[in-house]
Structure 1
Amino acid sequence: MTVQELATESPEAEAHVLGACLMATPAYDAVADAARVLGDGTALSPANELVWQAITRLHGRSRPTGVPMVEAELRSTGDLERAGGVVRLSQLAMAACGAGQVEHYAGLVAGYAALRRYQGALARAQQTARLVSPTDVPDAIRAHQADLDYLAVGAEEDEHFGRLGDDLHEHVKALETPTEAAAVTGLMDLDAVLKMRPGNVIVVAGRPAMGKSAFTLGVALANAGTGRPTLVHSMEMGKAEVNNRVLAARARVGLHHLMDGGPAIEDGDWTRILRVLPDLKTLPLWMDYAARVTPSRVRHRIKALTRETGRVPLVIIDYVQLMDTDQRNGRQTAYERVSDVSRELKIIAEETGAVIICCAQLNRGSEHREGKRPQVSDLRDSGQLEQDASAIILLHREDAYEPASPRAGEVDLILGKNRNGPTCTVTVAHQLHFGRIRDMAQAD
């Protein structure tokens, strides 16, 4: 049997469910059980969907959902004939299933609807494959992946719905065990106030050259150093630059020596590099250097690493304003694009349980402010970033503006937002000649 020959609907199952709703009594509310599975009813055939919508409207007004009331409701909206008339309503009532079978048959209806949507996605992919140019194949594949991801998430939505008290006892029991942070930054004072939990989105923002990449790459190395899988999407820096920064930070070799290469790398530098290589090669740290990164690409990478390692990775994106949406839209403004990306990343974090750290650029607002200290409102292109983030860390260096500052070598990590802890400022040391940021006590 081919895909085209597979049954994609079950009129009998639809009739059983609608019949039970038409025969509902105060002792058993079949509508509530069916609604948990069918939602808005778009899983039903068009005529049956009209009947379902009438039933749910009546149910929402706490009115009976028997045949006479549904008939009157359909007549008032002019949909009675399109729904099959009074005879059809009577036939549905006669087809009612038993009280304990409503969710089963509703599940069948929803399953057939999911099959139809799946077949539709495959048909669209086949049509695209026939028309797409060879140079646009990667974009076509990403669009198809996003289509399938949407279907998969829709199929799992019911897992997010339930009564508060259903699992409250288990939650209270779990409180007896201390909660381990899902990820660490490697900076002791920061980890003490920034508790990263599964599903958190952390924004690390600053003006150019404040040390965002050094900070987040240091977080990646520290987190991977604990054995936790870590994923970095580096859109701003290529493989050679990232490798140089990692080697400089870990081996304490001048970054400019590695950038120049050859004779600039001294014998002592080579000794330190060779000493750290074995540990670096075994770190559970994965890099993605693709210049075009979309939310669906991030989702796929997270799921692949979760399958491979058995643990959800920490994800770092450098930086969010460079990301694209899954569906290219030339009419989107930068504000709309970043807002869409931000919302999708928040959904991905909650769906997968990952912690996602996003670098972000700030506008020039802080440079016209006395002291030049940044604020959360300086985030460029989107207020949505501020809304979606669980925490926002703003990087500020006085010596970036005043090289002779008595605070030269210090970086303020300003927690402008922190849902899991206090808003405060943590001061750390930068050693940007080594491409790293350290706790003050370790800044030797």
Structure 2
Amino acid sequence: MNIHKVLLGALLIKPDLAAYALPDLEIEHFPADLQPVFAALSGLWNTKGELDAVAACARYPEQKAAILECVQECESECVRLTRDRVEEWTRLVLEQSALTRFQELSIQAASSLTTFADLPGLYSKMGEALTLDREEDDFKPIGELVNNYVCKLSEKPKYIPSGIPVLDKHLHLSPGNLFIIGGRPSAGKTALSLQMACEQARRGFRVCYFSLETDPDTLTARIIANRLAVPLADVKNKSVPQSDLDGLAELHKLPLFIRSASGRGVGWVKAQAQRMKAQVIFIDYLQLLADGKAKDRYQAITGISIALHELAQTTGILVVALAQLNRNAAHASPSTADLKESGQLEQDGDAILLLSADKEQYQAILAKNKEGRVGEIPLTFDKTRQRFLTVTSELERR
């Protein structure tokens, strides 16, 4: 059975089923000899909102023979044409197209002209080729959108919690968001990200942690100190009592994966995240991501920021990226203007949390938050135990 001809023939025989196939299809999903036929039918449907074999042949006489051949191919199958069957055939066409695209990329990867630097981009494109679900990005009337909202009133928004209650009270992270945690060295960026990663994994999310600065063993020590609430020094010296180590049993079950990413770029990170089917990824930290095409640091960080935003939006992965702040933020309340080397980060981040530590006080500021309020968050950092805790006011203590 020629699935491409059968599907096009089915839409001509039963035009009311076109709405369940054409919005998901593009001309590249069809072999070269059938692309003119698809273009003709798609053009007719987009123009008039309906299909008709006679009208198609009259409007596109050069495609008449091919159009009638598709109809005959479908009729020869002698099957009942239903929505389910058309959706099944559409899925098969998409799968065949994905397979062809994947094979083409594999051949390109094996070419003697392909360099090692090309592989992350090819790997990412292979992952995209296997993603068959398309966004419903066509125009929709406002009435339909309102009805959709009313019908889903009982459904709660699908947010991904940070796992820190005082932060989740104001921060509503969704799949496809870019969340930036900025701070000076020793302000606790890595500790906060590890605490979040563990809590999100504990809630069942698949989390991948990409470290560009610290090796996985060192990060593991910080996680152990955090989860057991013991001094990091004791973990490093391996002087934690055996009875306390029993509390680590839960970590064995968490879908949390840590990997060194030193010298890697966004394309490689995206490919690895898709391979691991990650729902959340952490990048520690973004200024260390490689971008060999940029002429200077400003252009490099701008490109990295745009790439991370695109990664989040195109994959539906929540991207949590750590960022260094400029030195002039060391002894003052930080702002988004202090994000190091590029103003693009401020533009691309859906939410930005800034951390600041000095001898007098600790500050955690939601500097940008598309889904809630901005301002100071009552968080403090127990550096000894690598834990973030809620600040309790004097009134609450009483």
Distance, in Å, in 2 between the alignment partners of 1:88 and 1:196 is 50
1:371-390 Cα shifts (integer Å, max 9, x gaps): 73332344346666445544
Q: For residue 311 of structure 2, what is the aligned residue in structure 1?
A: 344
1:204-241 Cα shifts (integer Å, max 9, x gaps): 11233332112223334555667876543222211343
Instruction: Pick the structure with greater CA Rg.
Output: 1
Larger deviation: 379-388 or 294-303? 379-388
Q: For residue 396 of structure 2, what is the aligned residue in structure 1?
A: none
Which one of the candidate residues 8, 13, 34 is aligned to 2:6?
13
Say whether residues 1:237 and 2:214 are aligned partners. Answer: yes
Distance, in Å, in 2 between the alignment partners of 1:144 and 1:290 is 18
Q: For residue 148 of structure 1, what is the aligned residue in structure 2?
A: 126
> Residue 379 of structure 1 aligns to which amino acid in structure 2?
L
The answer to whether the Cα contact below 8 Å between 1:295 and 1:345 also exists between their aligned partners in 2 is no
Unaligned runs of 5+ in 2: 394-398
Q: For residue 307 of structure 1, what is the aligned residue in structure 2?
A: none
Query: Counterparts of 1:104-119 in structure 2 under 5 Å?
Result: 104=85, 108=89, 111-112=92-93, 114-119=95-100
> Residue 42 of structure 1 aligns to which amino acid in structure 2?
E
Which one of the candidate residues 16, 24, 36 is aligned to 1:50?
36
Query: Counterparts of 1:9-408 in structure 2 under 5 Å?
Result: 9-10=2-3, 12-13=5-6, 16-17=9-10, 19-20=12-13, 29=16, 31-38=18-25, 40-62=26-48, 66=52, 70=56, 74=60, 83-84=62-63, 88=66, 100-101=81-82, 104=85, 108=89, 111-112=92-93, 114-122=95-103, 124-125=105-106, 128-129=109-110, 131=112, 136=116, 140=119, 145-153=123-131, 155-157=132-134, 164=145, 171-175=152-156, 182-186=160-164, 188-223=165-200, 230-249=207-226, 250-253=228-231, 255=233, 270=239, 272=240, 274-283=242-251, 284=254, 285-291=256-262, 292=264, 294-303=269-278, 315-323=281-289, 333-334=299-300, 335-348=302-315, 350=316, 355-363=318-326, 366=329, 372-380=332-340, 385-397=345-357, 399=358, 403=359, 408=360
Distance 1:31 1:159, change over 3 A: closer
Distance 1:331 1:67, change over 3 A: farther
Report the RMSD for the aligned CA atoms in angstroms: 4.5
Distance, in Å, in 2 between the alignment partners of 1:182 and 1:201 is 12
Distance, in Å, in 1 between the alignment partners of 2:385 and 2:8 is 70
The answer to whether the Cα contact below 8 Å between 2:211 and 2:259 also exists between their aligned partners in 1 is yes
Q: Counterpart of 1:156 in 2: which secondary structure? A: coil
Distance 1:50 1:385, change over 3 A: farther
1:89-119 Cα shifts (integer Å, max 9, x gaps): 5666777869945874575366245324414
> Residue 127 of structure 2 aligns to which amino acid in structure 1?
D
Distance 1:439 1:106, change over 3 A: closer
Distance 1:18 1:68, change over 3 A: same
> Residue 332 of structure 2 aligns to which amino acid in structure 1?
K
Distance, in Å, in 1 between the alignment partners of 2:29 and 2:203 is 47
Q: Counterpart of 1:174 in 2: which secondary structure? A: coil
Instruction: State the shift of 1:191 in Å.
Output: 3.2
Instruction: State the shift of 1:393 in Å.
Output: 0.6
> Residue 376 of structure 1 aligns to which amino acid in structure 2?
T
Instruction: State the shift of 1:150 in Å.
Output: 0.9
Larger deviation: 64-73 or 279-288? 64-73
Distance, in Å, in 1 between the alignment partners of 2:48 and 2:355 is 55
Distance 1:347 1:365, change over 3 A: farther
Q: For residue 418 of structure 1, what is the aligned residue in structure 2?
A: 369
Say whether residues 1:427 and 2:398 are aligned partners. Answer: no
The answer to whether the Cα contact below 8 Å between 1:37 and 1:107 also exists between their aligned partners in 2 is no
Distance, in Å, in 1 between the alignment partners of 2:329 and 2:48 is 56
Unaligned runs of 5+ in 1: 1-6, 75-79, 262-268, 304-311
The answer to whether the Cα contact below 8 Å between 1:393 and 1:413 also exists between their aligned partners in 2 is yes
Distance, in Å, in 1 between the alignment partners of 2:32 and 2:49 is 23
Normalising by the residue count of structure 1, what TM-score does the alignment of the two structures yield? 0.66
The answer to whether the Cα contact below 8 Å between 2:12 and 2:52 also exists between their aligned partners in 1 is no
Distance 1:34 1:286, change over 3 A: closer
1:343-392 Cα shifts (integer Å, max 9, x gaps): 113433x2xxx64422123346757xxx7333234434666644554421
Instruction: State the shift of 1:288 in Å.
Output: 2.0
Distance 1:116 1:54, change over 3 A: closer
Q: Counterpart of 1:429 in 2: which secondary structure? A: strand
The answer to whether the Cα contact below 8 Å between 2:9 and 2:74 also exists between their aligned partners in 1 is yes
Q: Percent identity?
A: 20
> Residue 337 of structure 1 aligns to which amino acid in structure 2?
I
Q: Counterpart of 2:196 in 1: which secondary structure? A: helix
1:305-346 Cα shifts (integer Å, max 9, x gaps): xxxxxxx6x543212333458xx8678951223311331134
> Residue 32 of structure 1 aligns to which amino acid in structure 2?
A
Distance, in Å, in 2 between the alignment partners of 1:145 and 1:183 is 30
Instruction: State the shift of 1:129 in Å.
Output: 4.1
Larger deviation: 102-111 or 280-289? 102-111
The answer to whether the Cα contact below 8 Å between 1:17 and 1:102 also exists between their aligned partners in 2 is no
The number of equivalent residue pairs is 375
Distance 1:50 1:132, change over 3 A: closer
